[in-house]
Amino acid sequence: MKALDELTFDNRFARLGDAFSAHVLPEPIDNPRLVVSSPAAMALLDLDPTTAETQEFAELFGGHKLWADAEPRAMVYSGHQFGGYTPQLGDGRGLLLGEVYNEAGEHWDLHLKGAGQTPFSRMGDGRAVLRSSIREFLASEALNALNIPSSRAACVIGSDTPVWREKQERAAMVLRLAPSHIRFGHFEYFYYTKRPEQQKQLGEHVLAMHFPECLEQPEPYLAMFREIVERNAELIAKWQAYGFCHGVMNTDNMSILGITFDFGPFAFLDDFDANFICNHSDDQGRYSFSNQVPIGQWNLSALAQALTPFISVEALRETLGLYLPLFQAHYLDLMRRRLGFTMPEDDDQLLLENLLQLMQNSGVDYTLFFRRLGDQSAELAVAQLRDDFVDIKGFDAWGERYVARVTRDGALDQEQRRARMHAVNPLYILRNYLAQRAIDAAEQGDYSEVRRLHAVLSKPFEEQPGMESYAERPPEWGKHLEISCSS
């Protein structure tokens, strides 16, 4: 375990130079204090979790202090936002504080979000509000606990600094960790500004740092693109399998590592709804729940376009063609496990589609349905769940097929079946109303609910005595919360 001043920095991205990022110092927030920390994320830096309670910790991640070896930089990138190209974006309110190696030799970027204005702030104030910082923190750590790749969050630091959104709020900072903060939009920026030398420098940096095995291949850039396609297909399969809606899948919010990145108006589904739109400014539903699958491919083609200086168009096209079949294979595999099957059968896709259609028509809770399906034998579970469906006959017909399918799969005793299904079917997910309740308390200065919720979500598959209420469907007030896009 390390003390706060013992981190080992090696700032490789900063050394790429001023064409890639600008040196900016964090602008401190007033009266910084710990809102919540993640011992698991701190462990990635070998940091003693008790240091989170110190004043020094709040000062470091509230922008008051800096390590001598940190080299804070605002990165430049661009990207396609809602289908249109924006020629220059960049870290408008976040800073790459530095790159750290842990004792296991892993590389972690330290990124402080809400650290003040940068040359890329455009009209923005460079700040992040407490509400959105808490949401990013909870979502990062909750996704990770669900085995869904994500950037991590080590802490939220609150403050007295006023910030204006629709009303006056308070500024906060999140310490985000990721092996890389390079986005699809980084490659797009150098492609569209016609700077092949710098684009190559970026590509070589990414290959060496994050895809060293691709350097052994005859065409390293093609191997890297293939890996990015594979990782994103798998990531989006996981989002779809667990009902996660990102909300702003612009190419500047897509990580080259295939991890969930940049949290805004995201949501987990409560009731199953393929057409769910979590972002209230997304009038067309471009980023609706089911559209995440084709949008993943659209975003990868935008990246492919930016990689045309390195890879032939035919090879890019062929590699892009892998996305949908890979997505489908991962998704079906996950859903088979969620349904409790061990062996694949040809009709599984159809069985699943029929179930989702029935759930859609009846507004059935997506998470609890799968959890309850494993609670008891298939026959008993189906008999209990039928009451949740409006089309009872339709569900009964599905239930018969399901029970027959489970029987063909091989008779496990119910204990084994439950253990196997509960290991992939969470009881606790980050429902919007749970986040909102924690935020409301935190805005009044009470951080206990955020901390409790974070603890519950760090073990989503385990029953936690006394925490049953965290598994409940939303109350009336929490069903259709409008999550503000301002953050």
* Contact with ligand AMP (CB under 6 A) among 17, 124, 196, 445: 124
| Residue 264 or 460 having the CB closest to ligand AMP | 264
DSSP 243: T
In the complex, minimum distance from the CB of residue 248 to ligand AMP, in angstroms, rounded to a whole number: 6
3-state secondary structure of 183: strand
Residue 394, interface with ligand AMP (CB under 6 A)?
no
CB 42 within 8 A of CB 49: yes
| Residue 94 or 374 having the CB closest to Mg ion | 94
How far from chain centre, in Å, is Cα 379? 36
Give the burial string for 368-380 (b: 16+ CB within 10 Å, else e): bbbbbbbbbbbee
Residue 265, interface with ligand AMP (CB under 6 A)?
no
Q: How many other β-carbons are positioned within 10 Å of the β-carbon of residue 446?
A: 12
| Residue 181 or 417 having the CB closest to Mg ion | 181
CA dihedral 106, 255, 159, 122 (to 10 degrees): 130
* Contact with ligand AMP (CB under 6 A) among 93, 183, 238, 372: 93
| Residue 286 or 473 having the CB closest to ligand AMP | 286
Extended beta strands in 340-400, E state: none
Task: Region of 61 please: left (phi>0), alpha (psi -120 to 50) or beta.
Answer: alpha
Query: How distant, in Å, are the alpha carbons of 72, 83, 247, 430 from that of 290?
Result: 38, 17, 11, 19
In the list ligand AMP, Mg ion, none, the entry touching 124 (Cβ below 5 to 8 angstroms by class) is ligand AMP
Residue 333, interface with ligand AMP (CB under 6 A)?
no
What is the dihedral sign for C-alpha 110, 113, 116, 117? Answer: positive
In the complex, minimum distance from the CB of residue 88 to ligand AMP, in angstroms, rounded to a whole number: 9
Catalytic annotation on 252?
A: yes
Residue 121, interface with ligand AMP (CB under 6 A)?
yes
Residue 26, interface with ligand AMP (CB under 6 A)?
no
| Residue 92 or 294 having the CB closest to ligand AMP | 92
Residue 248, interface with ligand AMP (CB under 6 A)?
yes
In the list ligand AMP, Mg ion, none, the entry touching 90 (Cβ below 5 to 8 angstroms by class) is ligand AMP
Give me 54's structure tokens: 């110190």
Which helix (H) or strand (E) segment holds residue 109: the answer is strand 107-113
Write out the binding residues for Mg ion, residues 226-285 only, by CB under 5 A.
Answer: 253, 262
With CB under 5 A as the rule, give the number of residues binding Mg ion.
2
Please tell me which residue in 252, 270, 365, 409 is annotated as part of the active site. Answer: 252
Residue 92, interface with ligand AMP (CB under 6 A)?
yes
In the complex, minimum distance from the CB of residue 125 to ligand AMP, in angstroms, rounded to a whole number: 5
In the complex, minimum distance from the CB of residue 369 to Mg ion, in angstroms, rounded to a whole number: 33
Q: How many other β-carbons are positioned within 10 Å of the β-carbon of residue 48?
A: 16
In the list Mg ion, ligand AMP, none, the entry touching 248 (Cβ below 5 to 8 angstroms by class) is ligand AMP
CB 464 within 8 A of CB 452: no
Based on the number of CB atoms within 10 Å of its own CB, is 197 exposed (0-12), middle (13-18) or buried (19 or more)?
exposed
DSSP 253: G
Q: Which of 257, 262, 266, 403 is nearest to 340 (CA)?
A: 403
* Contact with ligand AMP (CB under 6 A) among 71, 234, 262, 282: 262
Q: Which residues bind ligand AMP (CB under 6 A)?
A: 89-93, 120-121, 124-127, 248, 253, 262, 264
Residues that bind Mg ion in the complex, under the rule CB under 5 A: 253, 262
Catalytic positions are: 252
